Amino acid sequence: MQGDTIVIEDHHHRAAINIAAKLLPVIQASTGKYTLTVAGESGAGKSEVATAIARQLEAADIPCLILQQDDYFVYPPKTNDRTRREDIGWVGPQEVRLDLMSEHLKAFLDNEPSVEKPLVIYAEDRVDSETLDMQGARVAIAEGTYTSKLEHVNTRVFIDRDYRDTRKHRERRNRDASELDAFIDQVLIIEHEIIAADKARADVIINRDYTIDS
C-alpha cells in the first residue's frame, strides 16, 4: 500500500532471524518457487515481520517479493471504514479479494513473469493498479490479517497477539485517528473472533514475546 510506514524493531528482527533459519533449508532444497504468509491481528507487526523475513532470506541470496493484503481490499481504506460504520456486518474476510491474492500466489508458483495487481493509494483513498514483476523472486510473502486463509501456500506464519496486545503499536503507527476510536474497538473484537481460529492452520507461531513455536 502506497503511503504506509513500516518500522522494523528488534523483536521483529529476532523473530525473522529464527523463522528464516527454519525455512532456509526447506527453500534451498526445493526446486521451484516458494510461498509463505504472515497473518495476525491489526497492529501485530505483520508488515514488519514479513519485511524482516524477506531481508533475512535475501541476505542468503534468496530474492523475495511481498504481497500486502491492504492492496487487495474491495474498497480503499477510508471508503471501507465508512462502509463498516454503515454496516458492521461488512467486517470480515469478505472485505478482501482473497481469491485474487490466491490467484497471484498460484501465478508466482507457476512461474508467470508478472501479474497486474491492485495498489491502494492511501492518501487519495483510491485503488490503482500496477504490474508486479515476479521473474527475479524465489519466495513470495503474503502478509495481512486473513492471509492464513489463502490457497497455494507452502508455510503459514501466525502472530499470536490480540487487539489488546497491539494497541500501542497501532497508536505509534497512527495511520488515522479513526483507527483508535470506540467503533474500531468493536471491529477488532469481531476480527479477533475470526482470525484467532486461523492459529490452528499455522506452521510457525510467533508468540506474544516474539519467540517462535513450530
Per-residue pLDDT at 60 exceeds 80: yes
Cell of 58: 535475501
Residues 77-120 have pLDDT tens digits of 999 999 999 999 999 999 999 999 999 999 999 999 999 999 99
Please state the domain extents for the chain.
Answer: 10-208
pLDDT tens digits, 28-48: 999 899 999 999 998 899 999
Q: What's the whole-model pTM score?
A: 0.91
Give the integer Cα–Cα distance in Å for 188 and 182. 10
Yes or no: domain 10-208 corresponds to CATH 3.90.79.10: no
Q: What is the mean pLDDT of the chain?
A: 92
Whole-number pLDDT of residue 173: 55
Q: Which residues contact 63 (CB under 8 A, 6 or more apart)?
A: 136, 137, 138, 139
- pLDDT tens-digit readout, 13-27: 999 999 999 999 999
- Fill in the DSSP letter of residue 184: H
Q: Which of 155, 51, 72, 169 is nearest to 119 (CA)?
A: 72
CA distance 39 to 145: 5
